[in-house]
Amino acid sequence: MNGEVNLVYVYDGTLEGFLCCIYESYARRQVPDEIRCEQSQATFFDRTEWIRTDTAHSDKVYGSLAEKICLESQDFIRDAFLTRHPEKEILMYRFIRMGYRMGRKVMDFLTDDTVNTLTKAVRNLHREAHLLKGFTRFTLYDNVMVACISPKNKVLPILADHFADRYPDETFLIYDKTNQMALVHKPEGTLLTSMSDMTLPPIEDPEKAYRTLWKCFYQTIAIEARENPKCRMTLMPRRFWHNMTEFDL
């Protein structure tokens, strides 16, 4: 590689595709400067190489994480892939290379910039997922429960188990507006799928009545003498509010 040209691996945007980038980098003895998914823009100085997804290769790389680093590193990489960090791929790439060299110790290397940034991004993902376990609001249309969320990270794969476990016999749908995905659950099973848009009919009674009751409870339960808007904002940032029934936004 020469100094001016960026070597960019382009993959199909799936985790398998990303793992194939790792495979190819070792097979081709190259060190990419960037790894991007196919929708992103190339610049004039890029030398792009398209990496084909081959599940035999990705399986091999995925298995090697457990063998050469540790079992937890598999979860870590899967989670890191769901984060919203704009450079997650190249960070994950560097993390894995480092892990092959250091073994499981790489997980503890929190003072290293790559490990630190990636760990923080994963923490941010889990924190957002945890908040949304509480902040997600369902609306009932007959017996189907529908919710809309606008998270920054791809939290649905993490939320899937929680909600499927909580409402095993219900039919529900959670639409992630940001990432255009949906989680669909029926008593027979749970499914993640892509979904570009969602329009819902206006709500009627008794749904309306329950919303009114909930708003009433929400407003009543605060103690006026302790009002503390800053504290509320810190614990429940405004960006969540427009999907929550207790606010008229």
Residue 95 to residue 134: CA distance in whole angstroms = 32
- Identity of the residue, 35 or 173, whose beta carbon is nearer to another protein in the bound complex: 173
Residue 177 to residue 96: CA distance in whole angstroms = 31
Q: Is 137 a residue that touches another protein (CB under 8 A)?
A: yes
Q: Is 78 a residue that touches another protein (CB under 8 A)?
A: no
Q: Is 123 a residue that touches another protein (CB under 8 A)?
A: yes
Q: Is 153 a residue that touches another protein (CB under 8 A)?
A: no
- Nearest CA to 143 out of 185, 189, 182 is that of 185
Q: Which of 23, 95, 138, 175 is in the footprint of another protein by CB under 8 A? A: 138
Q: Give the nearest distance from C-beta 102 to another protein in angstroms.
A: 8
- Cα separation values, 154 from 107, 158, 181, 190, 211, Å: 22, 8, 9, 17, 28
Residue 57 to residue 68: CA distance in whole angstroms = 16
Rounded to an integer, what is the distance from CA 225 to the centroid of its chain? 39
Q: Is 165 a residue that touches another protein (CB under 8 A)?
A: yes
Residue 210 to residue 116: CA distance in whole angstroms = 45
Residue 166 to residue 160: CA distance in whole angstroms = 10
CB 154 within 8 A of CB 172: no
Q: Is 223 a residue that touches another protein (CB under 8 A)?
A: yes
Binding positions for another protein, 192-211, rule CB under 8 A: 210
Q: Is 141 a residue that touches another protein (CB under 8 A)?
A: no
Q: Is 245 a residue that touches another protein (CB under 8 A)?
A: yes
Q: Which part of the chain contacts another protein (CB under 8 A), choosing from 16-24, 65-73, 157-165, 176-184? A: 157-165
The site that binds another protein (CB under 8 A) totals a number of residues, namely 58
Phi/psi at 119 (5° precision): -60, -40
Binding positions for another protein, 171-190, rule CB under 8 A: 187
Q: Is 75 a residue that touches another protein (CB under 8 A)?
A: no
Q: Which residues bind another protein (CB under 8 A)?
A: 102, 105, 108-111, 113, 116, 123, 127, 130-131, 133-140, 145, 147, 162, 164-170, 187, 210, 212-214, 216-232, 234-236, 244-246
